[in-house]
Structure 1
């Protein structure tokens, strides 16, 4: 019995022995791995901890003051630097704002040691359930670490340093200090850093006056500053506000009554005086950027932290009028052009618009790819028919496009025969624009335009709009786009002719003009009048009014291209860009809109060259003036560049152009007799211009494509650029009395209704150009007068505009001249 009773024990002993040995080995391995892991972690900490940044920037917090740019009437148009902020002490921040932040971002902030492990587990479970990242676990301390010292790149190394820095911050600063830094440092959209700046940006009030409803909306912004701020997307901001208010009630920060009152409070989005709403109260992005570039050339990177203030010559009222005029002109052209179809398309499952969160997320993604452009708003088509197109901006903002005027523009995309990519259908991504009483669908413009205005007495730039949308690129077409001026350049050739003995009454042939290949030394040149319309003979005045090319060519031939080339440099034009050949008469050289405006200022101010300037003065952070402009002023004898008699006659002729000629719309719509100007259209309508002035203000409008191509058949300076100019001048000249012509200068006489210099009286002045003498059949063009080099120019130009890339450099090796706008 005894032997049998012991046999099971003897059989189990080896098994237990094997299990024991296995368990010991596992424990040893685990301990070894743990020791190795601990060793590696210790090594990593030893290597990483000394490389963590010093916390001096936090413990001695001194935010940098950015560069600010103002108009002449003290309206802020630009800020450049680290950030825009209004720093408050911790005790100056209202409790309701602190409570809203904690409820929205980190309700266990005062309990955890920098990392909220409860939140980490909760976020991991939520993300696992939804199979996507729906929740984060970043604490306020972690955000402070990231904002002060680290980038936002998503790498394990960056995350490791963030964790270490979080622990260091928690060990060095108190919780109140950390929260204080967060509330003053966090980016909250539209260049606002810190909740004090955000309160002024979005609600127009100091943070001390914030209500629970407003505090909750501000506290919801850090989740996605570009999407959850009330200017960019009020619906999303409102939804996020509701979540934050709910959290504040659940955590006991608000009573039920306070919660209900906050939910019902209307939110009014507005900006404090002098503070940008969204961007800025005035669309001065182009002059602000140019002012920054000019000051950077003096102080380099120091301008971004020393609190400099640039006061420009820009007039805020005129600047906004110029912005509106350019936008309106470009959109009018876009409506005239054939509708090219939607911007893109997106898969829009049936019924998704009823799923608010999913639909809004889809629209948010579209905004990233197709951002709004000013008052052009991104939308997606829900349904489309020839009589009605329904589009959505958000789940709650549905717009019906059913006005006949709007449908006419997009009619070709709504027919049953419309094909991709033109067809409008469910899922099409479009831009919508609100007109007076209705909405329209309009594609984002590809054409560009620019406008600049100067004070004629000293060249102060009062308006500068360098393109349709600054956010699409900083290329400033006012200063950087070298384009052919076309007929807008003719007045400078005519002015040179007056000083060579021609008069407004000089008769000039308007018959077709041509040069053979032998005459040019290259290939035949056969310029044409617009519309191929010709007349036997016109006076020089009539030729300017009607902008006749044949008249201009024969005038330049009579004057001499070399003389004219020298003469136009008096107006500020580059000699190298105005070759001394006959096509110069048609504006075949190249100018910038700013350069052309400076040239026309000479006609407007009595004959004085006043170089344009943008910066009036600069102050430091204490308000001390450290730089001030000293502009050239009309009347300074050293600035006179042309004969006052020439100015008087050209002013009279250009007023005639704006009253009876190709620019007659200017007089008709403005109803003023003191307006002069000239249209300009290049070959194949690649550039459209209008340059015009009163005795006190000169403005130039231009329209074209960055990579030159035809604007379309029938598009001219009078139809494309002049409306922009008139739209601007209607505001700029409002309330300003007319200025009658000044007294006739000595040495000038009026005979039989026209003007003659004393040294070129009737009988001595050149009476006929390009016309045969009585009884002489004479040819139109004399080969002997053909300037050398015209063949080379024709090879280069071929009557087309100089291609201009948005980086400012035309192809072919030519480099655009640097901006030359003195302080």
Structure 2
């Protein structure tokens, strides 16, 4: 009994001493312990994500990759894998696992090794938020106290959810959601058991155990995790055996982008950083929603890339990217071709070589392994061998220059040889030889009613160059400037029926001491021609004569109304030929004025920004077109004054709206409205004239006649080609969408040239195809729209040749639109059998 009492006393003394020690330690460390109250409102550092208007992910910006998830959004098997590996008694202990502590203490006592961990998930969470990773006793004591406090503050599920979202898992991935994306390019719900085990094994040493850096170490750690899961009976023996045999297949993946708009995403990034600063922009989890339509954006990318490939192919094949091994060509007497290959690579060596090559957009690197008479076999990444049929090879004339190509090949051996590294791409289910286009392009589509950008592509590949040609490329606009010059002419007394002499100009320039001789392209002259037809045929000399008639100062002043900077407009007659340099975004903004009835809208891309808690922190204030707003305000003012009077149109083209006596106060719009810069009549007439560029007239075609294939009468458009064909343009619109397409070279010196198959490049052949390809999808579900004709527009029958009134009703006449008061008053008929007092009035319609 004496011995037993002593033992009890010793145990009680040790217990008391232990409790006192813990209490004293807590009092000593109390002031050094951080408050864990912050965990109640913790905000994980998350990157900025950019979305299309329909919620598709465009891009992600930020150093730390994180995809916050709720616990019920995580696969149950992943949660079990983490618990089995990191803390199997998580739901049983109070934050400290005493069994684990005793085990670690015995290891320290017997071996002096401190590497044996005893930290629970709660302790790891405490360390993640408040402590360092140093292996010292004092840190472990603090960790224990914090863990107990955390358990008092949060539920087990809340702790586990916070841990799984916060834990660092290597390659800048934080949390299991980001790890699934970074290592496997998958949504977390789509992970296999093997992949789940790999992620669950990462917390121990993410920098060395991740499958990208060390597949072998990742495999060993995965197997340990699977063993723990089997021991805890979370998986069956069969599931274990299958997962153990699964290969480690992993590479770094970016954000799971579902809509490709990298140039627009960079515009968004710059705007958000300018607004909030880099630190907040990249870490506060902003969700930025843009104006882009994901479907239209995808089509815009495809249209631009396909058009560049078409241009590139018709100018010839520039040869292999590299030669992997040499092959000597042997031409037989019958003309057949074979090759000698003394240093041919094995399939394994080819595959290893391809693993080091990068794909570019739809271009895949490939090594030629065999060349037949009119086909070739190539190996692409992954070891797959594919055939290039003759239809995918026969385009490859030898490139000589942008102006010249070699003869068409008749055998594959004239184009390819074994050992060549080339690019291939798939088109309509068939593989074809390809190459990285040297020419550049841009395409931008905008809603003309409020300036919302619907699609924007700043080049062939953002990975090759981040130069955004939509916003940064100032290029000569060529004939794309002509509708604005014609608009100025209408403001100075001209009409669409005015006749100008389409004849060569020889004008002496005293400054240079030389004659200036602007020419049409093609160099054809029609003599006297009406303005509608001259615009549709893009007659250069007519534009020059119009500037002479209007005056350069008046012309530039008018063009400035469309948002163009006067300093960018040459103060001479070369402006008529498109010598001004503008960006595609400036041009599309200018054309929007014609599309929306005369208003200048400002392009924008961000609609709203949410924070990581889905709180609205920014919303774009729309500045849109409103034809009747000023009129309604006038009506309301008159009603308040008691003087209800017929309304006159201060702004030409504003529809007349009778004053409503019931209106007692002016409208209070919730948004701002775009300013009117030209009259509705002017915008209407130019838009109508540009329709003739597509549909032409009896016996003649406009420069954009290929757009007849779209079978829409509501499209207005204008081609543009600069001197020496360095730039090709097409701009066009419907009432709901305005689009500009540009093709050229970044160096601004290279010419687009000509090809054997198509002839000379131009706006109609080089820029219009991508516009048409995009518009075909963008407009496919939109019915034709014909807005009401503005008040103050009249339509009279005129003589096609003279633009004067006519009583004829055959092909020599047509109806033309005029601003009321500018319609012709004279008849073209040289002989009229009726006496003056018997003459029939000309046919006339007045739109009121």
TM class, shorter-chain normalised? Answer: 0.5 to 0.7
The partner residue of 1:353 within 346, 360, 364 is: 346
Deviates more, 1:344-353 or 1:174-183: 174-183
Question: 1:645 touches 1:748 (CA, 8 Å); kept in 2?
Answer: no
1:711-754 CA distance string (max 9 Å, x none): 11211111111111111111111211111242242154434222
The partner residue of 1:760 within 822, 829, 833 is: 822
Q: CA distance change for structure 1 residues 310 and 477 in 2, over 3 Å: closer, same or farther? A: same
Confirm whether residue 324 of structure 1 aligns to residue 302 of structure 2: yes
The 5 A counterparts of 1:96-495 are: 96=81, 172=139, 184-187=167-170, 193-199=174-180, 202=184, 204-206=186-188, 210-215=191-196, 257-258=238-239, 260-262=241-243, 279-301=256-278, 302-347=280-325, 350=343, 352-355=345-348, 358-365=349-356, 367=357, 371-394=358-381, 396-401=383-388, 403-410=389-396, 412=398, 424-495=416-487
Question: 1:97 touches 1:212 (CA, 8 Å); kept in 2?
Answer: no
The 5 A counterparts of 1:665-680 are: 665=705, 667-680=707-720
Q: Aligned partners of 2:408 and 2:419: how far apart in 1?
A: 17
1:38-79 CA distance string (max 9 Å, x none): xxxxxxxxxxxxxxxx9999x999741222222222222122
Q: CA distance change for structure 1 residues 755 and 87 in 2, over 3 Å: closer, same or farther? A: closer
Q: Aligned partners of 1:100 and 1:423: how far apart in 2?
A: 58
The CA deviation at 1:592 is 0.9
The CA deviation at 1:378 is 1.6
Query: Secondary structure in 1 aligned to 2:525?
Result: coil
Q: Aligned partners of 1:326 and 1:598: how far apart in 2?
A: 20
- Residue in structure 2 matched with residue 642 of structure 1 by the alignment: 678
- Residue in structure 2 matched with residue 38 of structure 1 by the alignment: none
Question: 1:377 touches 1:431 (CA, 8 Å); kept in 2?
Answer: yes
Q: Aligned partners of 1:183 and 1:309: how far apart in 2?
A: 19
1:277-318 CA distance string (max 9 Å, x none): 865100121222111111222222222122222222111221
**Structure 1: segments with no counterpart, 5+ residues:** 1-53, 103-109, 114-143, 149-164, 230-235, 270-275, 766-823
Q: Aligned partners of 2:210 and 2:444: how far apart in 1?
A: 32
1:328-369 CA distance string (max 9 Å, x none): 1111111111111122233488564343xx54432222x2xx
The CA deviation at 1:455 is 0.9
Question: 2:439 touches 2:745 (CA, 8 Å); kept in 1?
Answer: yes
Query: Secondary structure in 1 aligned to 2:353?
Result: helix
Q: Aligned partners of 1:305 and 1:733: how far apart in 2?
A: 39
The CA deviation at 1:193 is 4.5
Query: Secondary structure in 1 aligned to 2:178?
Result: helix
Question: 1:610 touches 1:631 (CA, 8 Å); kept in 2?
Answer: no
- Residue in structure 1 matched with residue 567 of structure 2 by the alignment: 576
Q: Aligned partners of 2:170 and 2:283: how far apart in 1?
A: 18
Q: Aligned partners of 2:408 and 2:682: how far apart in 1?
A: 62
Deviates more, 1:304-313 or 1:584-593: 304-313
- The structure in which a higher percent of residues are helix is 1
Q: TM-score, normalised by structure 2?
A: 0.66
Q: Aligned partners of 2:394 and 2:708: how far apart in 1?
A: 29
1:670-713 CA distance string (max 9 Å, x none): 11111111011111111111101001111111111111221112
Q: CA distance change for structure 1 residues 203 and 70 in 2, over 3 Å: closer, same or farther? A: closer
The CA deviation at 1:478 is 0.9
The partner residue of 1:94 within 66, 69, 79 is: 79
Q: Aligned partners of 1:373 and 1:170: how far apart in 2?
A: 53
Q: Aligned partners of 1:308 and 1:211: how far apart in 2?
A: 31
Q: CA distance change for structure 1 residues 314 and 206 in 2, over 3 Å: closer, same or farther? A: same
Query: Secondary structure in 1 aligned to 2:445?
Result: strand
- Residue in structure 2 matched with residue 729 of structure 1 by the alignment: 775
**Structure 2: segments with no counterpart, 5+ residues:** 1-32, 88-102, 109-123, 148-158, 327-341, 400-405, 631-673, 755-759, 799-814, 828-848
Q: CA distance change for structure 1 residues 451 and 400 in 2, over 3 Å: closer, same or farther? A: same
Q: Aligned partners of 1:224 and 1:537: how far apart in 2?
A: 80
Q: CA RMSD in A?
A: 4.5
Question: 1:553 touches 1:586 (CA, 8 Å); kept in 2?
Answer: yes
Query: Secondary structure in 2 aligned to 1:505?
Result: coil
1:233-266 CA distance string (max 9 Å, x none): xxx99x9998987787899969873355348889
Q: Aligned partners of 2:65 and 2:361: how far apart in 1?
A: 22
Query: Secondary structure in 1 aligned to 2:600?
Result: coil
The partner residue of 1:552 within 533, 543, 548 is: 543
- Residue in structure 2 matched with residue 81 of structure 1 by the alignment: 62
Query: Secondary structure in 2 aligned to 1:94?
Result: helix
Q: Aligned partners of 2:508 and 2:496: how far apart in 1?
A: 30
Question: 1:386 touches 1:411 (CA, 8 Å); kept in 2?
Answer: no
Q: Aligned partners of 2:765 and 2:445: how far apart in 1?
A: 20
The partner residue of 1:526 within 517, 536, 557 is: 517
Q: TM-score, normalised by structure 1?
A: 0.68
